[in-house]
Amino acid sequence: MEIRVLQYFMAVVREQNISKAAETLHLTQPTLSRQLHDLEEELGHPLFIRGSRKMMLTEEGMILRRRAEEILSLVKITEEEIALSNETVAGEITIGAGETKGLKFLAESARKMRERYPDVSFHIHSGDDEDVLEELDHGLIDFALLFDTVEDARYDFQVLPHSDSFGVLLRRDSPLAAKSIIKPDDLWDQPLIVSRATLKKGTLLSLLKRPAEKLIIAGTYNLLYNGSLMVEEGLGCALGFDWIINVSGESNLCFRPLSNAPEYKVCLIWKKYQEMSKAARIYLEQIKKDIRLL
């Protein structure tokens, strides 16, 4: 399977039409059709359902699309890293992260690095632990920022000098807002909005002393900002970390800590056996230096 053919395949996926895809690729339609046919022969499965106007992906085609996106992204990253492998420190550093104030520390280190190397740019991919670890495994990001260490021989990690507090995001007119601290049983009869990761990992049982099926789950979120919009509209109260949503001033929301919630460490994770770009190595050195200076 050639990279060029994957690019042809993705062009057809985007256009949903061989003629239009052939135009964008500057190929003849018969040439592109033959390349697709050969690819399907090589894989042993049809990749498209060919309709009168649109070409839709089969199940096998959807699998190939996901993998092709990852492969082509890695090719682009590799080409850029090789092009910048001389003495110049430049390029992109990508961090996958959930919502945490630990990002502020990473941003401070990034600012210091850009003062020395202005041709380096930083990109944040937002998502929960599951999302960012998957991207890290596939080589699509350089670092992942998680709320705990990872006991896995494939990864190295650095604990950051920050921790996050867990609690409840409420409307100010909620009866619970009168409390300074929320107890687990205060939430047993409340409609709750929880993160996908919290629901998947069974964290609710340890936090609220009650299995999820006995709680009122009104909604889920991946990013607390989206959860806060549901809270504002009165769908329920959201469980999440402090300092993510601005509850000062004229905000209609407030945050209350959960009485038994632990402090969550914030850890920077990277693949142990993956060769880092020069920029990523220097950035990691900057982070470790900033930690030592605290």
Per-residue pLDDT at 86 exceeds 70: no
Per-residue pLDDT at 264 exceeds 90: no
Bridge partners, 220 (sequence order): 194
Per residue in 11-67, pLDDT (tens digit) is: 999 888 888 889 888 899 999 999 999 999 999 999 998 877 788 899 999 999 989
As for how many domains the chain has, the answer is: 3
Q: What is the mean pLDDT of residues 84-100?
A: 81
- pLDDT > 70 in the chain, percent: 97
Question: Do 12 and 92 share a structural domain?
Answer: no
- CA 216, 217, 219, 225: dihedral to nearest 10 degrees? 90
Give whole-number Cα distances, 155 to 29, 134, 144, in Å. 46, 13, 10
Per residue in 172-192, pLDDT (tens digit) is: 999 999 999 999 999 999 999
Mean residue pLDDT of the chain comes to 89
Q: How far apart are the first and last CA of the chain?
A: 51
Question: Do 96 and 30 share a structural domain?
Answer: no
Q: Which residue range is the domain that position 69 belongs to?
A: 3-82
Question: Do 188 and 149 share a structural domain?
Answer: no
Per residue in 180-235, pLDDT (tens digit) is: 999 999 999 999 999 887 877 777 888 899 888 899 999 999 889 999 999 999 99
Q: What is the pLDDT of residue 80?
A: 67
Look up the CATH number of the domain holding residue 225: 3.40.190.10
Question: Do 169 and 190 share a structural domain?
Answer: yes
Question: Do 245 and 188 share a structural domain?
Answer: yes
Per-residue pLDDT at 69 exceeds 70: yes
Q: What is the pLDDT of residue 223?
A: 86
Look up the CATH number of the domain holding residue 44: 1.10.10.10
The closest of 17, 23, 28 to 55, measured between CA atoms, is 17
Question: Do 139 and 11 share a structural domain?
Answer: no
Q: Tokens in use for 152?
A: 């896995």
CA max distance for the chain: 71
